[in-house]
Amino acid sequence: MLGKTSDIVLIVICLSQLFERLQAEQPDFAEKIIAVNSDLTLLELDLSKEDQSILVENINIVFHCAATIRFNEPLKDAMQLNVLATQKMLALAHRMKHLEVFIHVSTAYAHCDREVIEEVVYPPPVNYRKLIDTLDWMDDDLVATLTPKLIGERPNTYTYTKALAEYLVLQEAGDLNIAIVRPSIVGASWKEPFPGWIDNFNGPSGIFIAAGKGILRTMRASNDAVADLVPVDVVINATLAAAWFSGSQRVNRPRSLMVYNCTTGGINPFHWGEVENCINMTFKNNPLEQAFRRPNVNLRSNPFTNQYWTTVSHTLPALLFDGYLTLMGHKPRMMKTITRLHKAMVVLEYFTSHSWVWNTDNVAMLLSHMSPEDKKVFNFDVRQLHWAEYMENYCMGMKKYVLNEELSGLPAARKHLNKLRNIRYTFNTVLVVLIWRIFIARSQMARNIWYFVVSLCFKFLSYFRASSTMR
């Protein structure tokens, strides 16, 4: 049954460390998979007639997780991928002869314009059908001009289109049995297939890496805003359980639409200040290779102090370093990285400086309906989650699987951090001495003190020289 696309998919699966455990435990799992080729933006999802009939005849459960998660995708593209593709998927689902459940994966931030978010679908600010028609005749410039007005209180096109998609699912559900799962900020895995699995820079992961590399030093966030991270395997287990529940409850009710807020903040809260602390600790003990400076992030809720520190601890060092690179005949590159980092941070700021309350009664209800055996196999109970341990695995996962750094490189990375610390001490000392020399050293007494300080610094430096050669 394996066609060309399936071969490609399977090769990808077999190459990924993510599936190593599966391969060991179920060597012929590949025989259970049929991959089909599709394109969300094209008519009928670009499925061939044969593929469509295979799907229509055989599918029992649809998990619709395809979407763009780029926060600032142009509105037209975000509509195509998040709203119109959902409509096409639902149309196909309506033709399926044995469909029991349709699961739509949304986001907990779809209704981030509210402070308390219940497990219901809220009506969006505009009718999606009208918006689809309107966007159809507008050119890209016009859409870009209108976008801020359209998205209103929401920070980006992602949350806006996800809200529209939820409403579309509600409107076009017909007699289908539907569940909407809303995860918050999806992070590395907690347990399955192993702790700390992650393979992308999405969401906060890119920021964590920038912090570990010592590029990110200051960030606009509130120390006590809830960091609603949720491990990816919790989301997957909860989604599977939701499908089971909606499917098995069908006997009692002809049709249902359940919404699950798959979040952690209400049950086991973790705050951005604590996230910062964990990152600080992990990357000091297990540094990333070739760090730019020592990892040390400070969260600031005041936009003005944050702006000041951004200039002092991001832009100035980057300019200095680029100047140094240019002098040495290399291409400057640090300012480019910093600019990209700032763009990513502007997008995340909204989420790191606000807190929300999500009602999770349906998730609790789901858990209570599961047998003790299923609770173990499909565990998604985040009360058991130990955040510090999770964050350490998350950071180490990024080092290993995203940056592909070997653990054998750790001693060298630690040495590099020590060198950076010595450079900083030297730099600060030279700065103090210069300031003293230029502005203060006028009187005899000042000169005496100055000689004393210089000799002290000299001793200090030679001590560090000795200690770093000893290491």
Contact criterion met (CB below 8 Å) for 236 and 364 = no
Q: Does 184 bind ligand NAG (CB under 6 A)?
A: no
Segment contacting ligand NAG (CB under 6 A): 16-24, 327-335, 372-380, 446-454? 372-380
Please state, in angstroms and rounded to a whole number, the distance separating the CA atoms of residues 273 and 275: 5
Q: CA-CA distance, 184 to 117, in Å (whole number)?
A: 12
Show the site string, 296-335: x = touches ligand NAG by CB under 6 A, - = not.
x---------------------------------------
In the list 234, 241, 345, 395, the residue contacting ligand NAG (rule: CB under 6 A) is 234
- Told to check if 264 binds ligand NAG by CB under 6 A, we report no
Helices then strands, each counted (H, E), the chain = 19, 10
Tell me if 167 contacts ligand NAG by CB under 6 A.
no
Element (H or E) spanning 463, and its range? helix 444-470
Residue 396's SS3 state is: helix
CA separation for the pair 292, 425 (Å, rounded): 15
Interface with ligand NAG in residues 103-142 (CB under 6 A): 116, 118
Binding segment for ligand NAG among 35-43, 87-95, 351-359, 424-432 (CB under 6 A)?
351-359
Where do the H-state alpha helices sit in 354-409? Answer: 361-369, 372-377, 387-397
Nearer to ligand NAG, 106 or 379 (CB): 379
**Please, which residue, 116 or 470, has the CB nearer to ligand NAG?**
116
DSSP for 405-419, please give it: --GGGHHHHHHHHHH
Among 13, 344, 357, 410, binds ligand NAG (CB under 6 A): 357
How far, in Å, are 23, 66, 217 from residue 9 at the CA level?
A: 14, 16, 40
Contacts with ligand NAG by CB under 6 A: the residue count is 23
Q: Which helix (H) or strand (E) holds 350?
A: helix 334-353
**Residues 217, 169: Cα–Cα separation, whole Å:** 42
CB closer to ligand NAG out of 277 and 426: 277
Q: Are 179 and 255 in contact (CB under 8 A)?
A: no
Q: Tell me, what amino acid is at 365? A: M
Establish if 374 lies at the interface with ligand NAG (CB under 6 A).
Answer: no
Residue 351 found at the interface with ligand NAG (CB under 6 A): no
Q: 116-117 and 185-187 as β-strands: parallel, antiparallel, unpaired?
A: unpaired
Question: 3-state DSSP: the chain helix, strand, coil percent, rounded to 5?
Answer: 60, 10, 30
Contact between 375 and ligand NAG per CB under 6 A: no
Q: Tell whether residue 191 is a contact of ligand NAG (CB under 6 A).
A: yes
Find the binder of ligand NAG among 266, 352, 366, 394 (CB under 6 A). Answer: 266
Residue 293 DSSP class: S
Nearer to ligand NAG, 65 or 435 (CB): 65
The minimum distance between CB 275 and ligand NAG, in angstroms, equals 9
Choice from 239, 282, 360, 362 touching ligand NAG (CB under 6 A): 360
Given 267, 319, 449, 454, the residue binding ligand NAG (CB under 6 A): 267
User: Which residues inside 379-408 make contact with ligand NAG, applying CB under 6 A?
Assistant: 379
Tokens of 102: 């349709």
| Residue whose C-alpha is closest to residue 179's, from 234, 120, 111, 114 | 120
Binding residue (CB under 6 A) for ligand NAG from 15, 346, 377, 431: 377
Binding site for ligand NAG (CB under 6 A): 116, 118, 190-192, 231, 233-234, 237, 266-267, 273, 276-277, 280, 296, 357-360, 377-379
